[in-house]
Amino acid sequence: MGIDDGLGDESLWLRRFAPADQAVNRLVCFPHAGASAPFFLPMARALAPTVDVLAVQYPGRQDRRAEPCIEDIPTLADHIAHALTGSLDRPLSLFGHSMGAVLAFEVAQRLQRDHPGRPAHLFVSGRRAPTRLREETHHLLDDEGIIAEIRSRRGPQARAMENPEVREMVLPTLRGDYAAVGRYRYVAGDPLRCPVTALVGDRDREAGVEEVRDWEQQAPDGAFEFRVFPGGHFYLVKEIAGVVSVVSDRLAATTGTGLRR
């Protein structure tokens, strides 16, 4: 299917959990592998009403469960960038965690190519810089291997995987997302023109501190910030207040507004 036959529709891809129609800034959030849009519900609530938060819903989960996963990062980015064309009426920034960081980066490249001045800011979390290649073969594991991998990360999906019915629903999505990430290869393009903020947990085995610091290579000179939080790959679950503070402060610097506490 192509973008013009419906897969790029905003209603398919974007969820708004805390509408903020009067907000100056808009933030689009990209979940990690196997996750769905509600992962960013706490961030949406924390940033409203000052920031209008949209969360991306990938195919193959929740209300899109009947759709096959798209196992290709550039194709996913094409669809999401197209879906965002109706959301560019105010400064728009991107936040992605893990797989979502790769997607946010690819969408940022497409937006700045087609819509000069967008995005206003790119936030990448828990993901190595695209120039830091590691072979990722989680999608080649059997079901028990994938379950063991999820447990080792101690993420929000680990407990849910104990339920056989949930496991049956989630495993194909995880495998598809892992395949998309594992096959992804960075292709150098036009340098980003927006500021970049990279965030990581200090005990993240999936994305080492120095590997995440290398996102600076993708940022304009003098427009990079790096923040390290306590925790592992899913540090942002416990450190949501600190993450929200960083996001709010950076958006305030961009447009002169922020989250008023």
User: Do 57 and 14 meet the contact criterion of CB atoms below 8 Å apart?
Assistant: yes
The one-character DSSP state at 45 is H
Q: How far apart are CA 5 and CA 172, in angstroms?
A: 24
Question: What 3-state DSSP class applies to 234?
Answer: coil
Cα 184 to chain center, whole Å?
A: 15
Tokens representing 31 are 């979940």
CB 197 within 8 A of CB 123: yes
Q: Exposed/middle/buried for 4, CB within 10 Å: 0-12, 13-18, 19+?
A: exposed
Report DSSP letters for 181-250, one per residue.
HHH------SPP-S-EEEEEETT-SSS-HHHHHGGGGGSPTT-EEEEEESSSTTHHHHTHHHHHHHHHHH
Q: Which of 166, 224, 174 is nearest to 194 (CA)?
A: 224
Give the DSSP per-residue string, 134-154.
----GGGS-HHHHHHHHHHHT
The phi and psi torsions of 33 (rounded to 5 degrees) equal: -60, 135
The residues that are catalytic are 98, 233
Tokens of 117: 């001045």
Record the tokens describing residue 57, joined without a space: 């819903």
